[in-house]
Amino acid sequence: MSESKSTNIVWHQGTVERPQREILNRHRGFTIWFTGLSGSGKSTVSVALEERLHGMGCRTYRLDGDNVRSGLNRDLAFSPEDRIENIRRIGEVAKLFRDAGVINLTAFISPYRRDREMARALSSDNDFVEVYVDAPLDVCEQRDPKGLYKRARAGSIPNFTGISAPYEPPEEAEIHIRTGESSVDECVEQIVAYLLANDYIESGLVETAGDG
Amino acid sequence: MSESKSTNIVWHQGTVERPQREILNRHRGFTIWFTGLSGSGKSTVSVALEERLHGMGCRTYRLDGDNVRSGLNRDLAFSPEDRIENIRRIGEVAKLFRDAGVINLTAFISPYRRDREMARALSSDNDFVEVYVDAPLDVCEQRDPKGLYKRARAGSIPNFTGISAPYEPPEEAEIHIRTGESSVDECVEQIVAYLLANDYIESGLVETAGDG
């Protein structure tokens, strides 16, 4: 999979490319890649962060199990090779959204460093922000919003991350949030502060965008 | 592939969904699906149309062989089953872009009615606009911008649409353009007129969007 099987391709340079789309949006396209255990708070924080960014006038989109697993990746199950392909496709779609000038938030366990690095390798400098959503396993298991840990402990879900399959925490994530200690709002503000401080977004956007 | 293999999925309703994104963009998310022979003008017209829509302040993105075949679908070749999977994934990605509130333009030969209907079936009423890019085979073959017809005639490209594989023209495309008779600008205006007349876009958008 390191080389394209597709041939007969000639590049067609369009007039509207990423820079033009980003100028219209008044912000760059980039990816905020959440990673963490099931129940760590990836979905909750990404939903709240999208609401915050949208309120600032940013063009946003959230990729998560709901819209990806039921559509693009519906042919994939949870075998090791299907999990890799799952993350590979998500990384490629995230790249398309960056190219579209959209701030895209991905919320997947993405337990393996190698797979996350594969997704990052598709990005340019500084348009991939990894967020480690850190919560102790026992906290995640107590939350168990989908009842998955219970089923995994009962043996009815094989290869469940944290129980019967490993989770490899990021070693150099751009942002590290601790949902067992901080509220959702605090986590969102921590991420927004990082994005502002590193010029991913501007605080003044909200005044000019989205108003008639 | 008619049913999802993915299980353990619980819907997480976010605060920012398609309607909120469309309000911010001041237009709906929809797909303009170009279909036609190689050399019929799909890429050329889609590039010119995107420029026109972008100039009106619309959020746009173009999916074509360049960015899809070299990325998301790089694991696919040109066998019959890979061609189906190619179009399936493009249809699913187009759906994600609609959900993001983005006007997405797809430029693929997509020769089979069944495959195009598969992509359309993922859409809601009126958010899938099929454009039949119609040019006679001999005109396409004379243009041959990528030298593919020459290679196909020489037998070095198997299953080449129009030469050694069928093209099934749309029977009920929303828009039918004839690039052998009309200029690129005329084709673009024909499409824009349709989009305006059917309330996909508004002519007043350009005055308010994208200005500082």
Q: What are the pLDDT digits (tens) for B84-137?
A: 999 999 999 999 999 999 999 999 999 999 999 999 999 997 899 999 999 999
Interface of A with B in 58-117 (CB under 8 A): 59-78, 85, 89, 92-93, 95-97, 99-102
Interface of B with A in 17-56 (CB under 8 A): 20-21, 23-25, 43-44, 47-48, 50-51, 54
Within a domain: B2: no
Adjacency order of strands within the sheet including B60-64:
B60-64, B103-107, B31-35, B128-134, B175-178
What is the ipTM, given to two decimal places?
Answer: 0.90
Within a domain: B8: no
Within a domain: B113: yes
Total domains present in chain A:
1
> Per-residue pLDDT for chain A (212 aa), expressed as one digit of tens each?
333 444 344 444 558 999 999 999 999 999 999 999 999 999 999 999 999 999 999 999 999 998 999 999 999 998 889 999 999 999 999 999 999 999 999 999 999 999 999 999 999 878 999 999 999 999 999 999 999 999 999 999 988 999 999 999 999 999 999 999 999 999 999 999 999 999 999 987 654 444 43
Within a domain: B84: yes
Positive or negative torsion for Cα A148, A152, A157, A160: positive
CATH no. for residue A176? 3.40.50.300
Q: What is the CA radius of gyration of chain B?
A: 18
Nearest CA in chain B to A3: B74
- Are B77 and A209 in contact (CB < 8 Å)? no
Sequential DSSP letters for A27-59: S---EEEEE--TTSSHHHHHHHHHHHHHHTT--
Within a domain: A9: no
Within a domain: A206: no
Please state, in angstroms and rounded to a whole number, the distance separating the CA atoms of residues A164 and A147: 16
Within a domain: B171: yes
Helices A113-121, A80-99: crossing angle, 10 deg rounding: 30
* A161 phi/psi in degrees, rounded to 5: -60, 130
Within a domain: A49: yes
Range of the domain at B187: 18-202
- Are A43 and B12 in contact (CB < 8 Å)? yes
